[in-house]
Amino acid sequence: MTWTNPLRDPRDRRLPRIAGPSALVIFGVTGDLARRKLMPAVYDLANRGLLPPGFALVGFARRSWSHEDFSEIVRDAVKQNSRTGFRQEVWDRLAEGIRFVQGEFGDDTAFDRLAETLRDLDETRGTDGNHAFYLSVPPDAFPTVCEQLKRSGLADGAGPENPEGGWRRVVIEKPFGHDLESAKQLNAVVNEVFPEQSVFRIDHYLGKETVQNILALRFANQLFEPMWNSHYVDHVQITMAEDIGLGGRAGYYDGIGAARDVIQNHLLQLMALVAMEEPTSFRPSELQSEKIKVLSAASLVEPLDETTARGQYGPGWQGSEKVVGLLQEDGFSHTSTTETYAAITVEIASRRWAGVPFYLRTGKRLGRRVTEIALVFKRAPHLPFDDTMTEELGHNALVIRVQPDEGVTLRFGSKVPGASMEVRDVNMDFSYGEAFTVASPEAYERLILDVLLGEPSLFPVNEEVELSWRILDPALEHWAANGHPEEYESGTWGPSSADAMLERTGRTWRRP
Ligand code: BG6
């Protein structure tokens, strides 16, 4: 049952949507994600007035904390990491609904205590039997937690219509498997307990404002769509570069690598949004079906030793700081072959995109932190200038700057002022910071709110996840059979094989 505020016209999508009475249970509450993103996002929602009085936050973990200890932990996390300022009165109201349940995932009595705590909150706090279970835990814990939720009756009525009243939803964090086969198994385990309509898979890139703006840019304007195809676009570059290293993340990252960590999810989702056809409406099923069509039509360009690249960062400089290579980072094996840089070439078999390569790349310890999508256009078919006049003219490009300097750049040639005709590239910029006075919410604020509202548009369904693995698996197998990744110096733009990959086709990577 979806809660609607009787004072608001539900058809007006500009009005803030406020969650109905509900409890959010977080498993893995002692983890980094919970502390840095989830708890602060819950507070930010409360501070923006988007959570109802009947809201509760329940932590579940092994530590022997009291409700008060946990509340203190949440408050520290909020003070350190929330986006909006700390307000005592908001905190006090939120804190009244904070509970902690101590236990192991395999412990029946702990889940029975959780059920008891939720029953109590339903009555005393008014959470009305609406429960979201956030699994911020490693995927090998999913089966046990799902099984326990089923055994303890906490997942009862997880279907779309629950005659008992109240809804049950499960939120899962990536990695959704490590290849197609394991993803299918994981989806089966989760779907055994929670039907697909109650599963919310987090891909936090879809919660970013700039990513949602891809749809507005494409489908609310007349200007760009006529050029959005193989007649005009030469190729597309999707870059997610990070300057941070992997110190402290060996447990998660070693053996996983850059492609599984972000290409399988974030970058292929960005590609789907850029390449999809116009949906007939913004209903979740329409959006999902357009993304599914693109992912079904996408595959890696071969031969993979020429069209993919991978690397591992060695020692180097990050700004003025001397940094170690991956193999010297704490917790990584000295012989680790985990890649920290990956690039692939994808083709999409459709009339719109035939012959247009999509280059996807990501890496740690690169020159700077930047995520962008660049549509690089073909050159004008004819240039009525002497060659020397256009020596400095590059390809036109439309760049969606996802972060950190959020906005859109249009790059085109312009006459250099003076007596001669010389054409050079210039940029025309739209910047969120200048155009809007409101700051963008954090991705997790948007996504947690959408879970509580039961709004699934921004969550990939199991078919998207499986199709993304189908695209990536051949590269993973190819790399696994080909020894150690090439080392690149920290602070640079990655391995030389990545440059060679584009040079073969006469193209170069952008240096954002
Ligand atoms: C996560 C990856 O999904 O995204 C991390 O696991 C990465 O390795 C992070 O650092 C980057 O997120 P953002 O929002 O800072 O670009």
Which amino acid residue places its CA nearest to atom 13 of ligand 1? 205
To test ligand 1's pocket by mutation, which of 242, 270, 366, 370 has the most ligand atoms within 8 angstroms of CB? 242
Give the SS3 label for residue 376.
strand
The 10 Å Cβ neighbour count of residue 21 is 21
- Give residue 409's pLDDT band: very low, low, confident or very high (50, 70, 90): very high
Residue 104 annotated as part of some ligand binding site: yes
Record: fold of 209-504: Dihydrodipicolinate Reductase; domain 2 (3.30.360)
- CA–centroid distance, residue 461 to ligand 1 (Å): 20
| pLDDT at residue 16 in the model | 77
- CA–centroid distance, residue 323 to ligand 1 (Å): 20
Residues 6+ apart with CB under 8 A from 312: 325, 326, 327, 336, 337, 338, 339, 340, 341, 484, 485, 486, 487, 488
The string of pLDDT tens digits covering residues 8-49 is 555 666 677 899 999 999 999 999 999 999 999 999 999 999
- Give residue 159's pLDDT band: very low, low, confident or very high (50, 70, 90): low
Read off the pLDDT of each residue in 59-67 and give the average, rounded to a whole number: 96
Instruction: Using the atom order of ligand 1, give the atom closest to the CA of residue 249.
Output: 8
Read off the pLDDT of each residue in 317-331 and give the average, rounded to a whole number: 95
The pocket around ligand 1, CB under 6 angstroms, is made up of 242, 261-262, 371
- CA–centroid distance, residue 144 to ligand 1 (Å): 26
CA angle 154, 157, 161 (to 5 degrees): 150
Stretch among 163-167, 186-190, 253-257, 266-270 having the lowest mean pLDDT: 163-167
- Give residue 1's pLDDT band: very low, low, confident or very high (50, 70, 90): very low
To test ligand 1's pocket by mutation, which of 33, 204, 238, 260 has the most ligand atoms within 8 angstroms of CB? 204
- Give residue 5's pLDDT band: very low, low, confident or very high (50, 70, 90): low
Is the distance from CB of 189 to CB of 142 less than 8 angstroms?
yes
Q: What is the DSSP string of 183-238?
A: HHHHHHHHHHHS-GGGEEEE-GGGGSHHHHHHHHHHHS-SSSGGGSSTTTEEEEEE
Residue 225 annotated as part of some ligand binding site: no
pLDDT of 292 > 50? The answer is yes
Residue 351 annotated as part of some ligand binding site: no
The residue with greater pLDDT, 433 or 270, is 270
User: For the range 500-508, what are the long-range contacts, defined as Cβ-Cβ under 8 Å and sequence gap of 24 or more?
Assistant: 500/309, 501/306, 501/307, 501/308, 501/309, 501/343, 501/345, 501/359, 502/359, 504/306, 505/357, 507/234, 507/235, 507/359, 507/376
Phi/psi of residue 110, each to 5°? -65, -40
What sign has the CA pseudo-torsion 30, 139, 445, 89? negative
Buried b vs exposed e over 386-411: b needs ≥16 C-beta within 10 Å? Answer: eeebbeebebbbbbbbbbeebbbbeb
Residue 62 annotated as part of some ligand binding site: yes
Give the SS3 label for residue 154.
coil
The domain limits of the chain are 22-173, 209-504
Read off the pLDDT of each residue in 192-221 and give the average, rounded to a whole number: 95
- CA–centroid distance, residue 66 to ligand 1 (Å): 32
| pLDDT at residue 248 in the model | 87
CATH class held by domain 22-173: alpha beta
Which amino acid residue places its CA nearest to atom 9 of ligand 1? 262
Residue 507 annotated as part of some ligand binding site: no
Question: What DSSP state is assigned to residue 441?
Answer: P
Give the SS3 label for residue 43.
helix
Give the SS3 label for residue 485.
coil
pTM attached to this predicted model: 0.94
% of the chain residues with pLDDT over 70: 96
Distance CA 406, CA 430 (A): 9
Query: How far is Cα of residue 257 from the mean position of the Cα atoms in its chain?
Result: 16
The string of pLDDT tens digits covering residues 103-151 is 999 999 999 999 999 999 999 999 999 999 999 998 889 999 999 999 9
- CA–centroid distance, residue 262 to ligand 1 (Å): 7
Q: 506: which 2 tokens?
A: 């006469």
Helix (H) or strand (E) holding 417: none
| pLDDT at residue 139 in the model | 86
- Catalytic option among 266, 334, 382, 478: 266
- Check if 266 is active-site: yes
Q: What is the largest CA-CA distance in the chain?
A: 84
Distance CA 331, CA 349 (A): 42
The chain-wide mean pLDDT, for the chain, equals 94
| pLDDT at residue 11 in the model | 60
| pLDDT at residue 113 in the model | 97
Read off the pLDDT of each residue in 242-250 and give the average, rounded to a whole number: 93
